[in-house]
Structure 1
């Protein structure tokens, strides 16, 4: 009985142990699987965090590498240079737009010189003995008036001088750079237009007025005058110089048989012939001398064309050597010419009727 009981008990125990072992094994397997899965998930997260961290560190290194003081200064310099280049480009475009606007305005209307050019070309280019261009500016109204009141005829006398003596006299001026207003594209141009209506003694150039562009203006004057008048001589004079027209005409008549001649006086000395042709110097007189002498034109240094103002020209007139032109050397023109032109004319002038008696 004891043996059977022991055996019976042992069988139940064994069965219970088997069931417990099965349940324990299942539970262990589930827990292990869960732990493994959790470990794998955590590993993937750690790897992702590691990757992000490494990438972030790499980006920080790149930023730090490009943000060194040397690189920053180079970038700042490049930016500054780009801004300067942009400013220059904008300035250039503004000037070009202004020039285009001026050209369009000029194209929409004919200047007095263009009207005269078209009129003369219809009946061939007008013949003339001499064309005298008086270089003037927008601010020189009083100077122009002083000339009209002294050595330059006006109105019908000016027309008669052209017809009978072939002496053409015009104030030479371009246009202002200021757009809008006035028939000529600006207030300054409008004032010149009104003055032209009153006196009809301007030669308007297709040129924007500026002091640093006097050489260009001088070149345009000669080319424009040549396209309008077929003259034996072309003269350029400033609006602060006194001229005796009769003496000028008789002096030029002495050289009319000589081709390719440049008559004048070099106030600052001779201009050498080894000069670049048509190089534009800051001073228009130097440019003019270099152009003509560079083109192998004979130069006649005629000192009566650069006499001093009274008493110099007065003494010469009393001695019978009337000056062609007079000015103050200290001013390269008559100092305060608007106030003093009449006095110079009364003192050194040849007389209003002399020019009409010159045989040409």
Structure 2
């Protein structure tokens, strides 16, 4: 009996192991299915949110009225741009009156010319030589010249170290001679000469109303009466760009004299376009107005005469090549010569 009862008791123990294993795998299967169902639900929520956002951002269907409104705005924008271009053209041609300060003029009548003689901080002796030769000396002589319709001034900027002895010396000299046009917004330096041209023409225009504006180097002597006679013969001529016209090779090697950093813009021949030589450049009033209005966007090159020539190429300027303005010319009636 004992053996039989032991065999009877051992049978349930043998049959319980598969049940436990099945139950364990059932739990794993349930967890797996539940996890997949939860993950699918999350994915559906994310996809639904993305679809909702895309539907909000999707462009609306334009009605006929919407399309007409868009086209009307574009047409209005185009007309505004065209009006601005016409306004700039009118200003450049002198059709719009500007409020010119007459601070440098003792008369309300229009002058014949404003002549700016470039100078530098180290050119005090050269200025005194000019004052004793072709240029009037003293305030009274300058006033008499102005009565003839001509204003003449030495043109200079400011030192890189504002207010230093260089600036103070110029201020003292100007108080004595009254013959400077000081460009407070310009830093006087050789490499800044092209920018000096822009600022000179703009400042001269704002201070004096004249037929012509003349830039003169301090490396030449001037026959002032001869220049006045030449300008008198051109009085009333608009868009006049007058000088000793020339061209020349573009220097492409850095370190050489007259090197042009923008050499690659001048084509395969590497030759400058026709322009008035830098010793003496004459512009009529409407061309100076153009420079003044557009000075912020006008490109400058390594040399001031090239820069001025590039500005004139973009407008309908009348080029006047007068070899009386060629300082190296052999003509007896030339108005300038090397100093």
Normalising by structure 2, what TM-score?
0.53
- Native 8 Å contact 2:114 2:212 kept in 1: yes
- Higher normalized helix content (fraction of residues): 1
- Judged with a 3 Å threshold, the aligned counterparts in structure 2 of structure 1 residues 118 and 323 are, in CA distance, closer, same or farther, namely closer
- Native 8 Å contact 1:136 1:173 kept in 2: yes
Q: Equivalent residue of 2:186, what SS?
A: strand
- Provide the residue aligned with 2:217 in structure 1: 238
CA offset digits 1:175-208 (Å, max 9, x no partner): 00114xxxxx110001101110111100011211
For residue 225 of structure 1, the aligned residue among 201, 204, 211 is: 204
- Provide the residue aligned with 1:325 in structure 2: 336
Determine if the alignment matches structure 1 residue 189 to structure 2 residue 172. Answer: no
Determine if the alignment matches structure 1 residue 271 to structure 2 residue 273. Answer: yes
- Provide the residue aligned with 1:141 in structure 2: 124
Give the whole-Å Cα distance in 2 for the aligned partners of 1:248 and 1:177.
Answer: 34
For residue 176 of structure 2, the aligned residue among 198, 207, 211 is: 198
- Provide the residue aligned with 2:8 in structure 1: none
Flag as ranges the 4+ runs of structure 1 deviating above 6 A: 123-126
- Provide the residue aligned with 1:178 in structure 2: 161
Normalising by structure 1, what TM-score?
0.50
CA offset digits 1:12-55 (Å, max 9, x no partner): xxxxxxxxxxxxxxxxxxxxxxxxxxxxxxxxxxxxxxxxxxxx
- Provide the residue aligned with 2:150 in structure 1: 167
For residue 296 of structure 1, the aligned residue among 298, 316, 321 is: 316
Unaligned residue ranges in structure 1 (runs of 5+): 1-115, 180-184, 328-333, 335-360
For residue 283 of structure 1, the aligned residue among 303, 307, 319 is: 303
- Judged with a 3 Å threshold, the aligned counterparts in structure 2 of structure 1 residues 124 and 253 are, in CA distance, closer, same or farther, namely closer
Higher radius of gyration, 1 or 2: 1
Q: Equivalent residue of 2:201, what SS?
A: helix
- Native 8 Å contact 1:272 1:293 kept in 2: no
Give the whole-Å Cα distance in 1 for the aligned partners of 2:130 and 2:104.
Answer: 27
CA offset digits 1:52-82 (Å, max 9, x no partner): xxxxxxxxxxxxxxxxxxxxxxxxxxxxxxx
Could you tell me how far 1:278 is from its partner in structure 2?
A: 2.4
Could you tell me how far 1:258 is from its partner in structure 2?
A: 1.9
Give the whole-Å Cα distance in 2 for the aligned partners of 1:295 and 1:265.
Answer: 19
- Native 8 Å contact 1:126 1:228 kept in 2: no
- Native 8 Å contact 2:102 2:108 kept in 1: no
- Provide the residue aligned with 1:132 in structure 2: 115
